[in-house]
Structure 1
């Protein structure tokens, strides 16, 4: 019995040992792998219309048509929401909230979602709903402000015969509030 009592006393004393447990060696960590970064999926979309069924794009803002674009073909590149589309043989009708319209034709039109613009290139011919005509080399419609900026051999003529010429202009869609330089 004494042996059992002595063994129990030794076991209790060993259990109360204040020495820290032996340190275990950490498992070797796996080499750090670079995390893949998400890059936006770049889409390329091409389309071709016909004489009877051209490519047709309508841009609406709050159930109102902002612009209406017809073209013979297009190519769009970029991620969703930030694409840039190039249209060939373009006819665009821009409309403002007051009902003014500008109908323009150009060999090429570029719709850029990042800058929120529609740019007509290569010689632009336009007519307003009030009968004014406009010619220039390049015409930019800024959707955020609903304004036009033209550049290159700008000529504006009103129905009464008034004619203005310059190198650039900024205007509203009705071409009534214009600044030409």
Structure 2
């Protein structure tokens, strides 16, 4: 039975916008997290991690010194695990839907994130998430989980068709 849905596509195509729109339409008890760009003077400086219940931290920043890097961004595993991973754990205990936005290079530096994600996928709860388009062995395994998991590619043209006014009200 299909219960895990992931959206994939190029950066900036609207994956997070689509997740937010689906959450509004579903009107279901949900927990988990999403990521959001940090911009200063119009330039991207990093990414926040924000839980559906309002906690937030810094996922990555040009100002973070870390051995875990994606491009020019140092990854903050502490906030990922204490805020993002804990939001998944909490959702597993008390929500019907678990939101994981996103399963990407930054998040995959954390073994705890990977283990908790697999627990969520194997649980009876539904998962709605975004996943990086380019595969590594971990994301390839998620995408090939069988009938319980579906990955939908999204293109800019498709988002504009679904939401012609732009940001889908988010």
TM-score (norm 1): 0.25
More helix by share: 2
Q: Which has the larger radius of gyration?
A: 1
More strand by share: 1
TM-score (norm 2): 0.26
